[in-house]
Amino acid sequence: MNLKILRQLFSLRDLRNAVLAFAVVVGGLGLAFFTAWAHRSGETRLAGAAAIASLVFVLLILIFVVPPLARNASAEASQMNLPFDFTSGGAVFLGLMFIVGFSAWNTGNNLLFLVLSFLASAFVVGFAVGNFCLKKLDVKMRFPETIFAGQTMPILVSLHNRKRIFPSYSIVAEVRGKEREKSLLAAELKKILPEKLADRLARPPIIKLTLDYFVHIPRRATAENKAEHIFPYRGRFIIKDFELSTKFPFGFFRHRRRLPAQAAEIIVFPPLASIEDETENLPLEIGKLVTQKRGLGQDLLALRDYQPMDDLRRVDWKATARANRLIIREFSAEDDRKITIFLDTRVPDEIDEDKKFLTLREQIEAEKKGNSAPVSERFEKGVSLAASL
């Protein structure tokens, strides 16, 4: 096991946070059991002090332990095919509904029960209508064949509503895909981790590209919008499927529906760079190269005797008159002038002053967020210049 790579994956800060979180959780559980024991033993003051201390530990857990776990759970849930999720407004509305319901049950006030019925009906109607808006929708996407990094790419997105009676409102169309089949860090992770865990960490994340927003899609009709997108880096984008989402009508839920897409990928070429300065001092040789082979060029190569099946238009009549036999002209072949562009990829890392060295953990986090930058800005600049030439 390579300890150097393992240190990059798990830093001292990660180990310290894990130990502190474990200590806080164990301390909170210990104080809770101690509070129960003191209460049964009749030690009221000791039980009260232990209860206050356990509440402090609970507060520490809510501040330092729960948020990282919630972020990880949210990241995992975003990769799953969940039909809906709560918005922030929906969570507040649900909490308000529980408060009103508890107050109505506790007091028996009919007015509170009436308010609760209105809130519950709005909650149910919002869920049902939002789910119905995504039914019987088809999406299509068209993009140009040639796409360069850093340039605006026009995308034509069309949504077809197959519902007979009802239209659809407030639809966001997205395309989901990934940049590669396997992570660039798969080989290094398999050296230090078990195979299953390494495969899970090396799984490339699903990247979402928002295509466009459709306000209204009439029944039995198609709405088409032109969107624009910019790919920051060269590479490819493997299309997996489409995702339609809506918060209609009240914004309590975000309903999602994923539609299969044809197997396709978008190839993004390197950005085009200005090459005027690089080609200023190059010799400008116009024309074709003359070779020493027979062909259909314009330059005379040799004279020879006439042979059957030769083209009579190539007869040299002056040479024929002098030799008293048919003489044929042979012309040399012409070839296009060829230039070979050589890109040296063996530039030492220490020459690249702009390169930022990232640890293995930082590279994994950047790749999971879909922000994996080029390995070397100097190398990418060379690729762009070579492609522009």
301-312 pLDDT, tens digit each: 778 888 888 777
Assess contact for 261 and 241: CB atoms under 8 A.
yes
Amino acid found at 142: R
Report CA Rg, the chain: 36
pLDDT, averaged across the chain: 77
Region 131-269: CATH code: 2.60.40.10
Beta-bridged to residue 221, according to DSSP, are 161
Q: Find the angle CA(244)-CA(246)-CA(249) to the nearest 5 degrees.
A: 155
Are 305 and 330 a contacting pair, CB within 8 Å? Answer: no
Angstrom distance (rounded) from CA 294 to CA 316: 16
Instruction: State percent of the chain over pLDDT 70.
Output: 71
pLDDT in tens, 191-238: 666 667 666 666 777 788 888 889 999 988 998 888 888 888 887 888
Give CB contacts under 8 A, 24+ apart, made by 277-283. 278/385, 278/389, 279/389
Q: Where residue 355 falls among pLDDT bands split at 50, 70, 90?
A: very low
Residue 351 DSSP class: G
CA nearest neighbour of 223 among 169, 178, 262: 169
Check: CB of residue 186 under 8 Å from CB of residue 258. Answer: no
Six-digit token string for 254? 């975000």
Residue 386 amino acid letter: A
3-class secondary-structure state, position 13: helix
DSSP state for residue 204 in the 8-state scheme: P
- Residue 253: CB partners within 8 Å, gap ≥ 6? 84, 85, 86, 87, 90, 126, 127, 130, 247
Q: Domain locations in the chain? A: 1-78, 131-269, 289-335
Over residues 108-149, the pLDDT tens digits come to 788 888 988 999 999 999 899 988 998 889 888 888 888 888
pLDDT bucket at 387, cuts 50 / 70 / 90: confident
Beta bridge mates, 137: 161
Indicate yes or no: pTM above 0.95. Answer: no
- CA quadruple 178, 179, 182, 183: dihedral, nearest 10: -110
